[in-house]
A and B are shown apart, each in its own frame.
Chain A
Amino acid sequence: MATPVLDKAEAEAQAASPYITVTFRVRRFNPEVSAEATWEDFQLEIDPKERVLDGLHKIKWDMDGSLTFRRSCAHGICGSDAMRINGKNRLACKTLIKDINPEKPITIEPIKGLSVLKDLVVDMEPFFQAYRDVMPFLITKDTNEPTRERLQSAEDRERFDDTTKCILCAACTSSCPVFWNDGQYFGPAAIVNAHRFIFDSRDDAGEQRLEILNDKDGVWRCRTTFNCTDACPRGIEVTKAIQEVKRALITRRF
């Protein structure tokens, strides 16, 4: 009589299996084989509570080791794995399968506006060049070695809190239509990181950074499309930060 009981338990285990079959439709490019980029479908069994990054790992480790993508921390901190998932820039390590309609194929592409080197890996150099160009480090008038902590009030710290959260993933910059068409534009991420120092009471080079962003390729190229704010995996109000830099530039004149 044990058999039906076991069967029932087995059937329940079957029904309770968390695994579903999803299709990952990945944009692949390998310059050592072809100049053309192509779509490739992978079918995988995955728990929908897992993340897109886990799916990519399954592909790379068990199905096709040639799949190339960046990731490091796998927990939304390092900013390596921004990619265009179902047409939106996200971090693969922070996107759950269940949240992006696994019924349909999940499209995965490299972020736009930067040269694709292989599969999902893009050349981040122009992005970091813009970042370096806004001088993203503390500059003080007093060049002596500090002898004690640079104190700051809680309110002064709060002023730029939002923009300290940036992990330089490039999701914002590579979602910006102005940047897609003209890489000379600093892009939202560089402005966010300039904002982080411009509004820091301990820093003395705000004026210099404002001047840099007053450039023809600076904040005035922003068209307020809000793509950056939508894309940011850290929830930074990117467009607002850009707007605050614009306001600072206008009010220092008038």
Chain B
Amino acid sequence: MSTTETTASGIGPVEGASLYDVDNPAPVIESPRKRTNKTPKSTRGNFEMYGWLFMRLSGIVLVVLVLGHLLIQLVLDGGVTKVGFAFVAGRWASPWWQVWDLAMLWLAMLHGANGLRTVINDYAEQASTRLWLKGLLYTATVFTILLGTLVIFTFDPNIR
């Protein structure tokens, strides 16, 4: 049979002879990161389990912390217009709000970072892409958590 012939199915070369035939088929599109018998066997440890639990537990606490935060910042007492240096300084004078903000900082950052780690695991195909994206993510996370913690503890309301 001629290879240039359009099959009954109507799939044929767009123009001229087909590049492919029985002995030279088109490459099959591989599914991403497919499982083979060389896929490494089970790794010990419970990291993923603790990560999964942490997402749920931190989520529950975040509902209170974040909604409370939004309510205070954006709704009560004249809404967002009241927020200024004096307002922040006033709140951080109280250890209660210091602890509140510290907990929110750590939980939201770790929760968000672990969530993004999941997203990277889902979408980055190559081992090197995964490594770099996670490296960037962890650097940004550690930096933000440390900077935020430093500011909460060393905040000086009399700064000029």
The residues of A with any CB-CB pair to B shorter than 8 Å are: 28-36, 38, 40, 64-67, 113-117, 123, 125-126, 129-130, 133, 178, 180-184, 186, 211-212, 214-218, 220-221, 246, 249-250, 253
Contact = CB atoms under 8 A, between A and B. Distances in A.
A148 B12 CA distance: 62
B121 A33 contact: no
B43 A216 contact: yes
Contact of B27 (A35, A180, A211, A215): A35
Interface stretch (B3-11, B91-99, B138-146): B3-11
B32 A28 contact: no
A65 to B, nearest CB: 8
B51 A220 contact: yes
Interface of B: 7-13, 18-22, 25-37, 39, 41-44, 46-49, 51-53, 118, 121-123
Interface of A is mostly: loop
Most buried by A among B18, B34, B47, B53: B34
A29 to B, nearest CB: 8
Contacts of B47: 216
Interface of B is mostly: loop
Contact of A35 (B22, B26, B52): B26
Contacts of B49: 214, 220, 249-250, 253
Contacts of B53: 250
Given A33-B12, A133-B39, A123 B20 contact: no
Given A215-B48, A220-B48, A220-B51, A126 B11 contact: no
A129 B36 contact: yes
B122 A181 contact: yes
Contact of A183 (B9, B29, B33): B33
A244 B30 CA distance: 32
Contacts of A123: 28, 31
Nearest to A216: B48
A116 B29 contact: yes
Contact of A32 (B25, B32, B35): B25
Contacts of A249: 49
A254 B6 CA distance: 65
A167 to B, nearest CB: 20
B103 to A, nearest CB: 23
B42 A211 contact: yes
Contacts of B18: 33-34
B11 A31 contact: no
A179 B28 CA distance: 18
Given A30-B11, A40-B10, A214-B42, A126 B31 contact: yes
Given A31-B25, A35-B20, A113 B31 contact: yes
B44 to A, nearest CB: 8
